[in-house]
Each structure stands twice: as C-alpha cells, then as structure tokens.
Amino acid sequence: MQKITAFFTELMRRYLPDPFVFAIGLTVLTLLLAIVLEGNSPAAVTLSWGKGFWGLLAFTTQMAVILAMGYVLASAPLANRLLNRIVDHVHQPRTAVMVATLVGLVGTYLNWGFGLVIGGIIAKKLAARIRGVHYPLIIASAYSGFTFCGLGLSASIPVLISTKGHPMQAQMGVIPLTQTILSVPMLLTSLAIVITLPLLNAWLHPKPGQPVIELDRALVGEDTEEPQKNAAPGEITVATRLNRSRALSLVIGLIGVAYVVLQFHAGGSIDLNLINFILLFLGILLLGTPINYVEKLNEGVRSISGIILQYPFYAGIMAVMASSGLVKTFSEFFVHIATPGTLPFWGFVSSFFINFFAPSGGGHWVIQGPFMIEAAKTLHASLSHTAMGVMLGNACNDLVQPLWILPALAISRLKLKDVMGFNVIQMFWVAIVYSIALLAWR
C-alpha cells in the first residue's frame, strides 16, 4: 500500500496542475467533445459556453458564503475549545490521522460546508501538536470526510427531491429522506465508511524510518488567534463600545434564531439559504461581539478565492454539456446496459465521470436526473435508489475533484499535488464501499 500511495503521490506531484489550470483544461476538453462527438459547430459551442458562464452566479455566492461562514463557526471560541480538548487526548501520528478523518466525517454529516472547514482546522492543530505526523496525509484525511456530502443531512440531491415543488416533482414525485439518506441501507453504508475510512487513512501513514513531511512551524498559531484585546482606557470610545458589545450580538443573534424557529414551525424546508442563515447567526452568537465576528470573517474570506474564480468556468462547462447532448450521450450509454437492479450502480458510475465536468450536486442532478428518472421508469427501477446512485457517484468523485478541496488547501497552505495521491487511494476505497451498497440494496 505504501508503494501504491507513493506512486500516486509522485504522479500527482509531477503532472497535476493548479485547480484553475484543471478548470481551463476541462473547459477545452468539453468544447472539443461537444464538437467531435455531438457534431456541434465551434460557434454554437462557444456561444453556449459564454451564455452559461455566469449561470451559477447565485450558487457561487451561496457556496462562498457557506464556506466563509463555516470557517467562522468552526473557529469560534467554543468550537476552538472543543477541538483543543480533542487534540489534548491524541498523542500518536496514526491516531491523529484517524481523529482528523472522524471530525471531517462528523462535521460533513451535519453540514458539508462546516465539515470542509472544521476538518482542515483540527488537522492543522493535530499536526502542530504531535511530532511525526505526515502533514499532507492528515490534511487529505480530514478532507476525505467530505465524501459524507452524499450521505449527510445536507446531501443536495436527497434534500432537493424531498422538498415539495422541486424541479422534477412532476416526473418522480416527492421522495422523503427516509427512502434515501435515512434508509437502513444508507445508514449502514455511512457506518461502514465511519469504521473503515479512518483505519485506511491511518494505514497510509509512513512507517517509522520512512520520509515524513511535518507542518511548517511558521504556520503554527494562525488558527489560534485570540479575539482583539480591550483598548486602553483613554482609547475607549462610543464606536469601540459598540464594536465590542455583547448585547448587540446577543440581540441580533436571538432574532435570527427566532426566525429559524418560526420558519420551521410554518413548515419551511431546509435549503442553502436557510443553512447559510443559520451559520451566520449561530456564528454571531458564538463569537460574542460584532468586531470578533468581522475579524474571523476576514480570515475566512481567504478560503473562497478559488471558488469565485473557478465556478464560472464550471458553469460554462455545465452549459455546454447540457446544450450539446454530451450528458445524454454519456448517460444513455450506461442506461442501455443496465437492468432494474443495476441501474443505480450504473448511475453511480456515470455520475462519477460527469462530476468532473459538473461538480455541483444540485446542478449535476438537474442535468443527469431527467435521463436517470426516465430510465428508472422504463426499467421499473427504484427512483430513490437511482437518485442515491447519482448522489454517491458525485460524493465519491468529490474526493478527487479539485474544486471542493480548495478550502482545505487554503487552511493548510499546501498544494493540490501534495494531497491528491492520498485522495486517489481514498476514492478507490469509497468507490468499493458505495458500489457494494448500491448492488446489495434491492
């Protein structure tokens, strides 16, 4: 296993470019496939790409907000104290890797944006505290918990199709979460990942005598900054009192909480806007004062630059895929070789590859969903099972999807090539677990 990991790590170190270069390459590849395979003219493909370039602008903002707000919440004093208590009980490198994986998994299960951030933070804390931890591995291990974006409480496709009025309700109806992420087969799948993925990551750690890359000590302390200290008596002004007013944060925080309670009481559903709302006002309450929140938010903004830059390119790719017929071509290939029992598995496989081009779960489903739903009806396959096949293909591919690892890289100050070799191994294992689950779930 060490040799396999070293092979993929060296392969990525030599040949994997920056995520932005990857986005450019995928753009060019998609345009060429649309022209060569689908017979579209270069002008038509270019127009589709340009018209769709800003198609995810609202979604880009939502993702930027969820990551920045998630950073603030994950670095709040209460969360920081909890993470420090966890770190205090860890003393061995392999144990540290397992703990980072579990925190990433649990955080992502609760909310994938929160998990992306809190996993990276505790991985960095553990690497700073424990000598001998292979820093690229522990960051990759924390990020591997992001595979729970397909099984957790904020899994985009299951949450979407369980909401009344979703775009495909006329085709498939409303499917409750008890038939998808909260079904017994998917709960058992989640348990299998929780047990095996930390063990796999610990096994990947270099053995004694093998080279270890530790955390650069110059980066230690970045995530443990204390809130701004009180000003000297002569410097206290009305402005500073307002900036540091706990009462103001408490009042506006409680108003935000009241809205969330009223929203649920009125039968409102969970969506990205409500998730962001909860993260924002919970963070305000936990940070204590307005100025503390602003300072932490300024730190969190560093993690969203890659998303702001790359999302428009992925939006353009999605537009070309949808308009050119590429998604239909790719999906129908798998549909033709499927049976009612294997359609979800082939949906998983096709979803894995399509996710390179359309790495957003919700946007991904809008493109691929119609073909998979029609195939499920034709073959009399389970709609909930088929939808989860697409979701798990998305979640598996996300382990090697350069877009989503950007927050972890921003927190760790590592490069994509430093961690991707480990992510490839993790992806292979997760793919095995998900494939078995989908084929056994009849």
Residue 433: what pLDDT? 97
pLDDT band at 155 (very low <50, low <70, confident <90, very high): confident
Residue 77: what pLDDT? 86
76 pLDDT above the threshold of 70:
yes
CA distance 32 to 416: 26
CB-CB contact of 434 with 396 (8 Å): yes
Residue 4: what pLDDT? 74
- pTM listed for this prediction: 0.78
Residue 321: what pLDDT? 82
Residue 209: what pLDDT? 82
254-281 mean pLDDT? 85
151 pLDDT above the threshold of 50:
yes
Structure tokens at 368: 């691929």
Among 65-79, 129-143, 353-367, 392-406, the range scoring the smallest mean pLDDT is 353-367
83-88 mean pLDDT? 92
Residue 79: what pLDDT? 85
Residue 226: what pLDDT? 46
Residue 2: what pLDDT? 65
Residue 229: what pLDDT? 52
262-272 mean pLDDT? 78
**Largest alpha-carbon pair distance within the chain?**
77
Cβ neighbours of 257 (radius 10 Å): 15
CA distance 127 to 114: 20
Q: What is the pLDDT of residues 338-385, one digit of tens each?
A: 888 999 999 999 899 888 776 767 667 877 887 888 888 888 999 999
Q: Three-state SS for 66?
A: helix
Cβ neighbours of 364 (radius 10 Å): 25
Q: What is the DSSP string of 201-238?
A: HHHTSPPTTS---PPPGGGTTGGGPPPPPPPPGGG--H
Give the closest residue to 114 by CA, choosing from 259, 283, 365: 283
* Average pLDDT along the chain: 86
Between 91 and 67, the more confident residue is 91
CA distance 115 to 171: 33
Residue 237: what pLDDT? 86
Q: What is the pLDDT of residues 221-233, one digit of tens each?
A: 554 444 445 555 5
Q: What is the pLDDT of residues 201-253, one digit of tens each?
A: 999 999 888 889 998 766 665 544 444 455 555 567 888 899 999 999 999 99
Residue 427: what pLDDT? 96
Residue 127: what pLDDT? 94
